[in-house]
Amino acid sequence: MSNRLNLENIKRVVIKIGSSSLTHHETGGVDFLKMERLVRELCNMRNSGIEVCLVSSGAIAVGRKTLGLKTKPDCLASKQACAAVGQASLMMSYQKMFGEYHQVAAQVLLTKNNLVNDESRINAENTFDRLFDMGVIPIVNENDTVSTYEIQFGDNDTLSALVCAMVGADLLILLSDIDGLYTDDPNVNPDASLVEDVYELNEEYFSLAKETTGSDVGTGGMATKLKAAKIATRAGADMIIANAKDVGVIHQIFENDFHGTIFHKNNSDGFYIKDYLED
């Protein structure tokens, strides 16, 4: 894929990585090698002058592992307990790794109510702007400890798009366990082909989405990623789905030579973030 993004106009980027991409499939433990490579990629991007925000899932998965739970908890209270334990552990790891590259990172926990309420949303926008001005990389997660909307946000796909819209980012990158949007499920249909460019989301594309996810640590499927694309592109940002198997895909994106799906921005004059919180 080459020469399909206008890289000169990309000054602020939101990157989302899912739980399944940060943990070992066999054990549920954190994949520290992948996390360290991710941090290095983000620090290098920041050093190049691009403002970057990371939306990181993984708190519930990390907490579950820490507490010794063999299966994903079903009840909300157990999920929130896992999040309370896991969020502290996850952030401690991020802070240590970012510090090795002399990069300051900040934790920002959001709930749906923070985005619905105009005053809270404006306060959040001001906080993000000041963090960017200070050269800080915000690390965002849903505040799973108190929020009841975790499943609706869909493993932070939707949350990352809302953050992208809120901070006025130019590009949203969803790092997933799949290369992008396919014409069919590539796991069962060898003839499925990758959709490289989407210029206008319509029902044909939404019909390709699968509601399920193949992981027992994540909650997002392709349907949540297309919802994220709808939000991001209408807010004036391009969006990319790329495979997190190799997080080096981040710098490949900025070399305009990568494998994935680009959803090209399609600004909506009447875009209002609260309209997308009721879908």
Residue 53 lies in a domain: yes
Provide the residue type at 128 as one letter.
F
pLDDT at 70: 80
Residue 60 lies in a domain: yes
Residue 87 region by backbone torsions, left for phi larger than 0, else alpha for psi between -120 and 50, else beta: alpha
d(CA 223, CA 53): 23
**C-alpha closest to that of 156 among 244, 93, 68:** 244
Residue 237 lies in a domain: yes
Residue 1 lies in a domain: no
How many domains does the chain divide into? Answer: 1
Q: Are 62 and 24 in contact (CB under 8 A)?
A: no
Sign of the Cα pseudo-torsion (80, 86, 91, 92, in order)? positive
pLDDT at 214: 47
d(CA 78, CA 72): 9
pLDDT at 279: 52
Q: What is the CATH number of the domain that holds 120?
A: 3.40.1160.10
d(CA 176, CA 241): 7
Q: Are 105 and 94 in contact (CB under 8 A)?
A: yes
d(CA 276, CA 116): 10
83 membership: H or E segment, kind and range: helix 76-100
pLDDT at 149: 54
- Tokens for 114, please give them: 């923070």
0.85 surpassed by pTM: yes
pLDDT at 240: 97
Q: What is the pLDDT along the chain (279 residues), one digit of tens a residue?
A: 445 788 888 999 999 998 888 888 878 788 999 999 999 999 999 999 999 999 998 888 888 888 988 888 888 888 888 888 988 999 999 999 999 999 999 999 988 778 888 899 999 999 999 999 999 999 998 876 666 554 445 568 989 999 999 999 999 999 988 899 998 888 888 888 999 999 988 888 888 875 444 444 343 478 889 999 999 999 999 999 999 999 999 999 999 889 899 999 987 777 878 777 755
pLDDT per residue over 12-39, tens digit each?
A: 999 999 888 888 887 878 899 999 999 9
d(CA 96, CA 246): 22
Provide the residue type at 14 as one letter.
V
User: Position of tokens 């044909």?
Assistant: 204
Range of the domain at 224: 7-277
pLDDT at 98: 97
Q: Are 57 and 162 in contact (CB under 8 A)?
A: no
Residue 241 lies in a domain: yes
Residue 235 lies in a domain: yes
Residue 78 lies in a domain: yes
pLDDT at 216: 40
Tell me the sheet residues that pair with 110.
142
Residue 72 lies in a domain: yes
